Amino acid sequence: MSFQVVIGFGPAGAATARLLAEQGQSVRVVTRSGRSPETGIEHIALDATDAARLTEVVRGATALYSCAAPPYHRWASDWPPLAASLCAAAEATGAALVMLGNLYAYGPVDGPLTEELPPAATGVKGRVRAEVWEQARILHEQGRIRAVEVRASDFFGPGVTDGGHLAGRVLPPLLRGKPVTTLGDPDAPHSWTYLPDVARTLTEAAGDERAWGRAWHVPTQEALSVREMVDRLAAQAGTGPVAVRRLPSAVVGAAALFSPLLRELKEVRYQFDRPFVVDSSAYETAFAARPTPVDEQVEATVDWWRDRLAIDA
């Protein structure tokens, strides 16, 4: 049994920590507020930007998983100190730094997204994400740390409640047979990364030195539009067909005056206004992992949301 540290307990952090615990690992989770302990998982309240204290918590760990993220509107100011602290703790302890990333750094791209694409984002959030990984990659090249970044598209699946694309804005009305609304073109092909596949890829990359030193895409199924995913979810739930309505740009613009999240999403709206297709063949060729079949993703997600809404009702 080895010791692992997970930073953050959002959907990805929680899924990763629980998967590690299921595998028999000793797991410590770091969040600002802490939580009550659960089977196989110790929760620590700590500001992860405090490099000295974080190093104490990480010492002895095999891997350090970066699954936290600052509030969306504070990425530019809060990501650099968090990333610097993570790198410092990895260097001081020897723990492999396993970073959960996204696809913002590429910017708008014509054609499938591959790891060979250069960072070309023009927006602040995309540039910050590129800089965070570049910092870790350089330290890895210098032999000071061991690092890998695992990049995912929009999360989908049990445990994903935030975001409106296939989560809180879509599933509750869908399960009641009511119309759903979406940002962007509901018929544009889009890649959805299944949350359990994210956790499996993070833990696999942490334990295989062949993965270190570069970025990889999480194994992700073929792209499906919002409308196609809604049709599958509604069919599984027995509530379909469900109408899919695009939020008019004027409505989004007016709502953004009062919503910091919507204002920040303007930078990455291109991901839903045009095809956004992820190529994960590099990872699937090098390692054994494969994306979960879509039908299994849909069934598990509908079951999870039904249980959640029954509990909340």
Note the pLDDT tens digit of each residue in 238-249.
998 999 988 766
CA distance 131 to 121: 11
CA distance 168 to 11: 13
Q: Which stretches in the chain have pLDDT values below 70?
A: 1, 163-164, 248-265, 311-313
Residue carrying structure tokens 């000793």: 26
Containing 308, the helix (H) or strand (E) segment is helix 294-312
Q: Model confidence over 176-224: pLDDT tens digits?
A: 999 998 888 999 999 999 999 999 999 999 999 999 999 999 999 999 9
pTM (2 d.p.): 0.94
Nearest to 230 by CA among 217, 240, 221, 220: 240
pLDDT computed for residue 255 by the predictor: 54
Six-digit token pair at 279? 């190529």
10 Å CB burial of residue 108 (0-12, 13-18, 19+) is middle
Question: Residues in the chain, how many?
Answer: 313
Q: Model confidence over 110-139: pLDDT tens digits?
A: 999 999 999 999 899 999 999 999 999 999
pLDDT computed for residue 313 by the predictor: 47
Please name each of the domains of the chain with its CATH number.
3-154+193-217 (3.40.50.720), 158-191+222-277+293-312 (3.90.25.10)
> In the beta sheet, which residues pair with residue 104?
none
